[in-house]
């Protein structure tokens, strides 16, 4: 079992206080957006044996287990993060596995450099993800029913929104959503900037259901992503609740601290709320234009105290243990790799004492006994 020393990424949207507060460290005044736990080449965790990426590469079967290697290849299939949003992230979608492979091979064939700002596909993997709230957590997830969005936009009293309102009341729903998103992202920039400004002022004035979108517009004035965001469900998670984000589902995180787990990929198609490249044709190929409820997840408890966040993919499995003081130790040994993360209290994992924000890597098959009085998240795979 290896104690992990993890990199904190200073993305501009990050909170300046949430991660330091959890870790019990002094804020630096700079944003601290994500703390990465895993073997992603961008920021692999460090251990006394070297980086986790180097450890896995040296002996995949030993560290990951033969079943994981056979199923997912000789790399850790997931990336675990603490995510602390102090401002909205970019509105985005992720491809499915077939789309990622096709897109990556196409850009490789065309010689698009991996670090090019207009590159869409950094790898050939999909990127399903799960966010579990540690504090109240605001986000956008999936399309609202078009007629409900039409009513919402109509209520703003902005004349330039009338064409979008009319489109949203047309049928079928998927075609209506596609037409509106296409129109928003391809509109004349000056006209769109004016529409967004008027929309933002109306949202600010009316408050209530419009308040989250006023906040988004404050951070991204004039960005067409503000109107794209108005097409989506706003959701507020309470601590312990989660959202699963599958392929093609537009989403954005707005504010709060959470534990995030995803397949080990960096493939993102952006819809707005960003100065980065927005590839509209490719985005429209990937987005699933299906309205629906965000589907808030609550953990399902098992008799041994494990609370599992059930998702339909195999590259990761996230669960938590809320350990009461004086309880018997839990044996978490598995024939698969694990990362254990403490988020509250004090937990003993093998020979390691974990306080909030501290984590360990457990190689496949290694004895993993935990005890203490606190909350422990367990990240692993299904094999």
Would you say 15 and 29 are in contact if contact means Cβ atoms under 8 Å apart?
no
pLDDT of residue 275: 87
Give the span between the Cα atoms of 373 and 89, in whole angstroms. Answer: 34
pLDDT of residue 99: 95
The predicted-structure confidence for 224-274, as pLDDT tens digits, reads as follows 999 999 999 999 999 999 999 999 999 999 999 999 999 988 899 999 998
The two counts, helices (H) then strands (E), for the chain are 12, 21
Give the span between the Cα atoms of 295 and 310, in whole angstroms. Answer: 12
Give the max Cα distance, the chain: 65
Residues labelled catalytic: 270
Structure pTM? 0.94
Q: Reduced to 3 states, what is the DSSP secondary structure of residue 352?
A: strand
Give the span between the Cα atoms of 128 and 340, in whole angstroms. Answer: 20
Phi then psi dihedrals of residue 244, to 5 deg = -100, 130
Angle CA(274)–CA(136)–CA(79) in degrees, nearest 5?
60
pLDDT of residue 276: 86
Give the span between the Cα atoms of 8 and 14, in whole angstroms. Answer: 10
Q: Reduced to 3 states, what is the DSSP secondary structure of residue 83?
A: strand
Ranges of residues in the chain with a pLDDT under 70 are none
pLDDT of residue 25: 95
Torsion angle in degrees (nearest 10) through CA of 230, 233, 239, 241:
-150
The predicted-structure confidence for 282-302, as pLDDT tens digits, reads as follows 999 999 999 999 999 999 999
């Amino acid at each position: 079992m290896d104690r992990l020393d993890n990199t904190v990424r200073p993305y501009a949207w990050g909170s300046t206080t949430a991660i330091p507060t959890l870790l019990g460290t002094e804020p630096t005044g700079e944003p601290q957006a994500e703390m990465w736990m895993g073997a992603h080449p961008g920021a692999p965790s460090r251990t006394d044996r070297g980086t986790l990426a180097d450890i896995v590469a040296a002996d995949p079967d030993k560290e990951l287990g033969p079943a994981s290697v056979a199923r997912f290849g000789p790399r850790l299939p997931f990336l675990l993060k603490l995510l602390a949003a102090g401002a909205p992230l970019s509105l985005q979608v992720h491809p499915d596995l077939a789309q990622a492979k096709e897109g990556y091979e196409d850009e490789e064939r065309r010689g698009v450099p991996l670090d090019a700002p207009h590159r869409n596909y950094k790898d050939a993997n999909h990127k399903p993800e799960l966010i579990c709230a540690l504090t109240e957590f605001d986000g956008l997830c999936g399309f609202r029913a078009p007629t409900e969005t039409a009513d919402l936009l109509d209520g703003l009293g902005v004349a330039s929104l009338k064409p979008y309102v009319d489109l949203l009341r047309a049928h079928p729903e998927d075609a209506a959503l596609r037409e509106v998103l296409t129109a928003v992202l391809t509109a004349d920039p000056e006209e769109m900037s004016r529409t967004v400004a008027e929309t933002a002022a109306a949202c600010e004035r009316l408050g209530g259901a419009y308040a989250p979108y006023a906040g988004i517009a404050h951070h991204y004035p004039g960005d067409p992503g503000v109107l794209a965001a108005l097409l989506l469900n706003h959701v507020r998670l309470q601590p312990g609740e989660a959202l699963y984000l599958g392929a093609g589902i537009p989403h954005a995180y707005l504010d709060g601290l959470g534990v995030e787990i995803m397949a080990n990929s960096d493939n993102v198609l952006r819809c707005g709320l960003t100065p980065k490249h927005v590839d509209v044709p490719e985005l429209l190929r990937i987005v699933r234009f299906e309205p629906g409820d965000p589907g808030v997840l609550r953990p399902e408890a098992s008799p041994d105290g494990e609370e599992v966040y059930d998702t339909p993919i195999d590259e990761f499995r996230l669960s938590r243990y809320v350990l009461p003081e004086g309880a018997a130790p839990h044996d978490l040994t598995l024939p698969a790799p694990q990362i254990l993360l403490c988020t509250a209290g004090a937990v003993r994992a093998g020979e390691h004492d974990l306080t909030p924000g501290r984590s360990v890597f457990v190689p496949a098959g290694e004895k993993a006994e935990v005890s203490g009085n606190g909350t422990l998240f367990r990240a692993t795979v299904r094999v």
